[in-house]
Copies of this chain bind each other. A is one copy, B any other.
Amino acid sequence: MKIPEKFHRLFETRTYGYLATVTPKGLIQNHPMLIFREGDKVKISTEKSRQKYRNLKADPRATLLVMDPENPYSYIEIRGKVESMEDDINNAFIDSLCPRYFGTDRYEKDPPGAKRVTVTIKPEKIFTFPPGA
């Protein structure tokens, strides 16, 4: 499943993705996320105390919507599943996103003791608008 090249630039700018997951009680959660593309997979960062982490541990379904910030009629929706969740040792992954999103070298929004996890999502269906873009 390919992430079309046309949308690669959204993963290179300060664009947030909107990640929909399902809670253990069956509610749908939809939250903004920092996003990273590695080939045709998507990586996100979450923290072990977060609802999102509990959701993805219990239910691997994850759908990411990424909008072109300049055009609400250009977007990609990636429906996928968690392929792996790995401890983010020394915050290497989240820190690597900071120059792009915040113009800084380190992620400083977590409380002390936060335990970051890097989640890799493998797409199973990809929809774009306009279709076929």
Contacts and interface: CB of A to CB of B under 8 A. Distances in A.
Given A20-B20, A72-B16, A63 B30 contact: yes
Query: What's the number of copies of this chain in the assembled complex?
Result: 2
A89 B63 CA distance: 33
B21 A28 contact: yes
A74 to B, nearest CB: 10
A111 to B, nearest CB: 13
Interface in A54-108: 61-65, 67, 72, 75, 77, 79
Given A18-B65, A65-B18, A32 B75 contact: yes
Interface of A: 16, 18, 20-22, 26-32, 61-65, 67, 72, 75, 77, 79, 124-125
